């Protein structure tokens, strides 16, 4: 019998919070933390508007956010691993996905 797998979370650091990011930007550029926090809020609202309108938004050198439409699925019976399973119908829906930029991949 194999030993249990170790969790990936052991020893992993937590992601930077919005406040910590605003503080880091403020100290780096000599601004107030409130101004940096407002800039992060405006960046989020601009990104939301652009993704809704155009379906794509990119932050150069960092990431790209895209929307994708998943088609509707019909109800019925599907054969899954040799068993017949009843599947409910699902409507079409829009999914938001994020991709990292090539420049970021090269740096890591």
Q: What pLDDT score was predicted for residue 11?
A: 61
Q: Please write the tens of the pLDDT for every residue from 45-90.
A: 999 999 999 999 999 999 999 999 999 999 999 999 999 999 999 9
pTM of the model: 0.71
Task: Give the residue with greater pLDDT, 78 vs 1.
Answer: 78
Can you list the pairs that 19-26 forms with residues at least 24 positions away whose Cβ atoms lie under 8 Å? Answer: none
Q: Parse the chain into domains and list their residue ranges.
A: 15-54, 55-107
Q: What pLDDT score was predicted for residue 1?
A: 62
Give the residue ranges of DSSP H helices in the chain.
18-29, 33-54, 102-107
Q: What pLDDT score was predicted for residue 103?
A: 86
Our separate counts of H helices and E strands in the chain read 3, 5
Q: What pLDDT score was predicted for residue 12?
A: 67
Q: Find tokens 């938001």 and name the residue.
A: 96
Do the Cβ atoms of 64 and 97 come closer than 8 Å?
Answer: no
Q: Find tokens 């550029």 and name the residue.
A: 29
């Amino acid at each position: 019998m194999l030993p249990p797998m170790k969790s990936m979370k052991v020893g992993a650091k937590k992601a930077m919070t919005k406040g910590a990011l605003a503080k880091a930007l403020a100290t780096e550029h000599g601004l107030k933390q409130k101004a940096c926090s407002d800039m992060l809020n405006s960046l989020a609202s601009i990104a939301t508007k652009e993704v809704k309108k155009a379906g794509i938004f990119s932050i150069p050198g960092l990431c790209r956010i895209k929307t994708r439409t998943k088609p509707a699925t019909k109800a019925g019976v599907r054969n899954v691993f040799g068993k017949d399973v009843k599947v409910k119908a699902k409507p079409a829906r829009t999914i938001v996905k994020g991709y990292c930029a090539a420049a970021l991949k090269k740096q890591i």
